[in-house]
Chains A and B, each alone.
Chain A
Amino acid sequence: MAGFRTLAGKELGESLATGRWLIAAAVFLLSGLGAVLLTYYLPDLVRSQAGSGVAITVPRQTATNAVVAYAGYLEQLPALALILLAMGAIAEERSRGVAALILSRPVAAGAYVLAKFTAHGLVALVSLAAAALASFGYLALLFHPVPLGSYLLLNLGLLVMLLDVVALTLLASAALGSGVAAGGVALVAYIALSALPGFWAPLNNSLPTGVTGRVGQLAAGSWGGSAAVQPLVGGVVLAGVCLLLATLAVRLRPA
């Protein structure tokens, strides 16, 4: 695709220069580690907060509880951070005139969109990898080692979910005139993506929530394997459709 390598290089450079990597990595690490540590210390925290004469008993937390919390946390703040980082990617470049300088050159609109997706996707991948690795270590330290295969599958599900967030945000950014509007639309779309599959099983089985929603079974090692293929492929297809539509939007209104 004409111009992809050059554009991806520019986007990656921008990620480094603007500190996008650091912001995302900090949010992901905070969320992942926070989930594991809070789960571990939850009984002690509750006990310390209880008044005298009141006894609240919180059972000792397990590794499964911690993994459930980990998945839940990573689906919230990190997803919001990715929306905030990507919402102006196309809309702001278009309104500032940067897009006109790029798209008046022999560059494919698809390459322009894909380069942005690659850069933001890599930020998500590296940040998630850092959070997953650190959290895995603390899980082993504080609880007991969780099955590696299941943990990897869960993180793959989270990654596909987060890539869907990036693709949805880029689509909104390409279709709308402002970054703020794109961020709002992307947030609503993400909430819908997270909530709607819960009401209809076939949809749930075709989207990454089909993996991340089964975190308890995953941690217990009672689910996984080929059953995870359909939700993961569904998530990849969703991201692909969003990117195609974003490309169409850029082609129709380049700058």
Chain B
Amino acid sequence: MTASPIEFSHLTKTFGRVQAVRDLTLSVPAGAVVGLLGPNGAGKTTTIRILATLGRPTSGQVEVAGRSTTAEPDAVRRALGYVPQEIAFPNWMSGRAYLRFAAALSGVAAGERRARVESTLELVGLAEVGDRRTQTYSGGMRQRLGIAQALVHDPSLLVLDEPVAALDPIGRSEVLELISGLRGEVTVLLSSHLLDDVDRACDRVAILSEGRLLAHDSTTSIKERYGGPVFHVEVRGSAAGLAERLSGEAWVEQARAEGSALTVVVSDPDRAELELPRAIAASGLPLLVFRRELPSLEEVFLRLVSGSGKPA
């Protein structure tokens, strides 16, 4: 049987009296792009640092491709590529020189190094600027070089800590596109608190809060299980009065109006399908759009971390 790329077994990490990670058990399937979500202080970075062999668990263990991060750290390091939250390179090195250095450190054979460096630079779109010193790179370019140094030794697992948090929208888009493109080739675990980005790039999510795992599944399943459906309604005229009236209903969790658009998060979808059209008709507002959708990841996340969802 092939070992799962990442297995967290009852991982706990404490710093003095603070429990950063509490009894985390999680298995990541091969080839998936998994988002580790959580508010600040949820334990994402601690979890990722332990996975990258830069920290030790207080109890429990983490395995990468069947190898323990504490018992066989070098085997784990060969199997993974790591991109830290704050990424910095020696200013005097060019991007290409840094990749050669990273490849040599990771044990890429001297004969293969040049080809690996060039193909990785191509992959991240830095081949043209590879000879420029890293200090001249923009934030997005530095982040792409960060991903390149993590991929240069052809690892089976890529671990990224908040890879887009410090980037502008264009840089974020470039990096997320790059990460999405790795789906199926490399298993990717990335931490983030930017929910829209995770929704875009990841096919699975694990939600952490105060060091505990609240939910872990495919993005779609998580939305279906914890979010409940959302109804998008558009009427002719202002929907504010309708939203106010619906907010008092027992089957409505939240009703938000923005001009003529109305978003209704419901707790009882069957009842909502009957009651919502009636309420709209009763308002006398002409109906333009009526659509049932899955909630956004943000809505699910907020429900789970605020305690209104039902954790696994």
Partner of A100, one of B82, B90, B102, B106: B82
A103 touches B54 (CB 8 A): yes
Q: Given A10-B101, A17-B92, A96-B88, A106–B82 Cβ distance below 8 Å? A: no
On chain B, the residues within 8 Å of A6 by CB distance are 101, 104-105
B92 touches A106 (CB 8 A): no
B88 touches A98 (CB 8 A): yes
Does A3 sit at the interface, judged by CB under 8 A?
A: yes
B90 touches A14 (CB 8 A): yes
CB contacts under 8 Å to B, within A36-86, are none
A105 touches B106 (CB 8 A): yes
On chain A, the residues within 8 Å of B146 by CB distance are 101
Docked complex Cα distance between A97 and B105 (Å): 17
A101 touches B82 (CB 8 A): yes
Q: Given A2-B74, A254-B54, A105–B90 Cβ distance below 8 Å? A: no
Docked complex Cα distance between A9 and B105 (Å): 11
Does A122 sit at the interface, judged by CB under 8 A?
A: no
B86 touches A96 (CB 8 A): yes
Docked complex Cα distance between A97 and B102 (Å): 14
CB contacts under 8 Å to A, within B74-120, are 74, 77-78, 80, 82, 84-90, 92-93, 101-102, 104-107
Docked complex Cα distance between A254 and B84 (Å): 13
Docked complex Cα distance between A101 and B142 (Å): 13
Does B192 sit at the interface, judged by CB under 8 A?
A: no
Does A215 sit at the interface, judged by CB under 8 A?
A: no
Does A218 sit at the interface, judged by CB under 8 A?
A: no
CB contacts under 8 Å to B, within A1-37, are 2-3, 6-7, 9-10, 13-14, 17-18
Docked complex Cα distance between A34 and B53 (Å): 50
A101 touches B78 (CB 8 A): no
Does A255 sit at the interface, judged by CB under 8 A?
A: yes
CB contacts under 8 Å to A, within B53-89, are 53-54, 74, 77-78, 80, 82, 84-89
Docked complex Cα distance between A188 and B90 (Å): 29
Docked complex Cα distance between A9 and B101 (Å): 9
On chain B, the residues within 8 Å of A7 by CB distance are 105
Docked complex Cα distance between A223 and B45 (Å): 60
Nearest chain B CB to A67 CB, angstrom units: 38
Docked complex Cα distance between A104 and B82 (Å): 7
Docked complex Cα distance between A17 and B80 (Å): 30
Docked complex Cα distance between A14 and B74 (Å): 26
Docked complex Cα distance between A107 and B92 (Å): 22
On chain A, the residues within 8 Å of B92 by CB distance are 13-14, 17-18
CB contacts under 8 Å to A, within B120-169, are 146, 149
Partner of A101, one of B74, B84, B107: B84
Nearest chain B CB to A202 CB, angstrom units: 41
On chain B, the residues within 8 Å of A9 by CB distance are 101
A101 touches B104 (CB 8 A): no
Nearest chain A CB to B94 CB, angstrom units: 11
CB contacts under 8 Å to A, within B250-293, are none
Of A13, A17, A105, A254, most B-chain CB atoms within 10 Å: A105
Does B52 sit at the interface, judged by CB under 8 A?
A: yes
B52 touches A104 (CB 8 A): yes
In the complex, residue of chain A having the shortest beta-carbon distance to the beta carbon of B146: A101
On chain B, the residues within 8 Å of A10 by CB distance are 90, 93, 101
CB contacts under 8 Å to B, within A79-115, are 96-98, 100-107
Q: 0/1 per residue, A143-164, Cβ < 8 Å to B?
A: 0000000000000000000000
Docked complex Cα distance between A10 and B256 (Å): 57
Partner of B77, one of A13, A97, A105: A105
User: What are the 8 A-B residue pairs with the smallest beta carbon separation, nearest first?
Assistant: A17-B92, A96-B88, A106-B74, A104-B82, A97-B86, A6-B104, A97-B88, A100-B84
30 A-B contacts (beta carbon < 8 Å): A3-B105, A6-B104, A6-B105, A10-B93, A13-B92, A13-B93, A14-B92, A17-B92, A96-B86, A96-B88, A98-B88, A98-B89, A100-B54, A101-B82, A101-B84, A101-B87, A101-B89, A101-B102, A101-B146, A102-B105, A104-B53, A104-B54, A104-B80, A105-B77, A105-B102, A106-B74, A106-B105, A106-B106, A254-B54, A255-B84
Given contacts A104-B77, A106-B105, A107-B105, 17 further A-B contacts (CB under 8 A): A6-B105, A10-B93, A10-B101, A96-B88, A97-B84, A97-B86, A98-B90, A100-B52, A100-B54, A101-B87, A101-B89, A104-B84, A105-B77, A105-B102, A106-B106, A255-B49, A255-B84
> CB within 8 Å of A: which residues of B?
49, 52-54, 74, 77-78, 80, 82, 84-90, 92-93, 101-102, 104-107, 146, 149
